[in-house]
Amino acid sequence: MMGQDQGHIKKLVNLCRICGETGGETESNKYREEILALHSVDVSEDLPSVAPTKICGSCRKKIDCCKISVKEGKAITATLPVISIFLPHNPGSCQIFCRLKGRPKRQC
């Protein structure tokens, strides 16, 4: 049977480091400099047991747009999501872990 810690890490693997939603597909370290410049967060210091290690396609595209704008000397026009904060915690009390446990019950 999978322990709570392994289940917690398995859930984190599928989340986006920036927006916190499901769909993480690109390693966040590939965008470390951009995330640091845009959000003042150094993802190279993240612990895989605490924070997701990937970013979703939507956030990656927004970062790419910002990168192009900066390179061309233009103002950043992409709306960036507020970065999710992941602090060390007990897997049993993780809000994300609890949120992703399953399909919500139908409200009558």
Q: What tens digit of pLDDT does each residue of 45-95 get?
A: 988 888 889 999 999 999 998 888 888 888 877 777 888 888 776 656 666
DSSP string for residues in the chain: ---HHHHHHHHHHTBBTTT--B-EEEEGGGGHHHHHHHHS--GGG--TTTS-SEEEHHHHHHHHHHHHHHHTTPPP-S-PPPPPP-----GGG-HHHHHTSSPPPPP-
Q: Cα dist. 86→67, 69, 77 in Å?
A: 24, 28, 26
Residues 1-14, mean pLDDT to the nearest whole number? 69
pTM to 2 decimal places? 0.73
Q: What tens digit of pLDDT does each residue of 18-44 get?
A: 988 888 788 988 999 999 988 899 999
> Is the per-residue pLDDT at 9 higher than 80?
no
Q: What are the domain boundaries of the chain?
A: 4-78+90-99
